Amino acid sequence: MTTPNEPTKLQRRPRRLRRSETIRSLVRETRLTPDRLVLPQFIVEGDGRVEPIDAMPGRARMSMDRTIAECSQAMDLGVRAFALFPALDSSLKTPDGREGLNPDNLLCRAVHAIKETCPGACVITDVALDPYSSMGHDGIVSDRGVILNDETVDVLAKMAVVHARAGADMVAPSDMMDGRVGAIRGALDDADLTDTAILSYTAKYASAFYGPFREALDSAPVDAPHVPHDKKTYQMDPANAREAIIEAMLDEGEGADIMMVKPGLPYLDIIVRLRERTSLPIAAYHVSGEYAMIKAAAANGWLDERACMTESLTALARAGADIIFTYAALDFARWFKDE
């Protein structure tokens, strides 16, 4: 036995490596830097437009000139990748989403403008029908209220080619239709666009955390006869994990270059499972609901925004995400610069 004044003889004392910030920094296992982040941006027509999104404090729908200015600011802070989402006037939306195939649509013009003014930027485009669909779905809706898989995939493959020709570095199918990665890869290769990468939303769950995003993009399913009121027939069931492995193996076999897990924090286990099964880079989407919760709690004085946002993003990287889509990219980059 030891006496009260005699130190306990412990062979291992993990606290030795926690004694100072210098030591903690030396042994830190996960390091998060701005160049691993992707900033999602919502684009609208016009000039000088900045429309704050109530449910996403600090983020806004912006016209192309303001979007380009934000890209330039982000790149100065070390954030060099941008995911573009067009917020279209309802007059351009149709059941078949045909505006998505217009090579002069808002998204294509934005891609071209950003690549012209910020040549070092990586521009990622969303490949799905919901921004263009009058039904609010990621796919074509039949008269019987069924989301048509193969017909949708045909449109998505054409859309990916349109985006790549506009200058997109990566196309990101977010629709969760079966077989779309292979179809997109084939269409890109046939169009001699072999350098365009596919960042596939591999495990995209039918999550309740997307609410603020759908407000920003006006992309929720419409309340109309024969239109499904949710996206559960194509997005994954939140209760399923093994299914994500099936999706990952399919996407890898079809030619995906990067795999996405969405949302992020509620699905850390899915990121870990995919990291154990594939050598491809893995992306995680820190979605609008996750972002909004921290912002709202911080505004009420309940949480430290910087500490909680940084901890959340670090958790995604710790789980195995190489790339993180987050609306807090600029905030984090500023904090990182101040350290």
Active-site residues, by number, are: 204, 262
Distance in angstroms (rounded) separating the CA atoms of residues 83 and 49: 19
Which single residue is written with the structure tokens 């934000």?
70
Q: Distance between CA 171 and CA 207 in Å, rounded?
A: 22
Q: What is the dihedral of CA 271, 277, 278, 284, to 10 degrees?
A: -10
Cβ neighbours for 218, distance < 8 A, ≥ 6 positions apart: 87, 90, 136
| 3-state SS assignment for residue 33 | coil
Q: Strands (DSSP E) along the chain, which ranges? A: 37-44, 50-52, 60-63, 81-86, 122-127, 140-141, 147-148, 170-173, 197-204, 258-262, 282-286, 323-326
DSSP label at residue 264: S
| First and final C-alpha spacing in the chain | 46
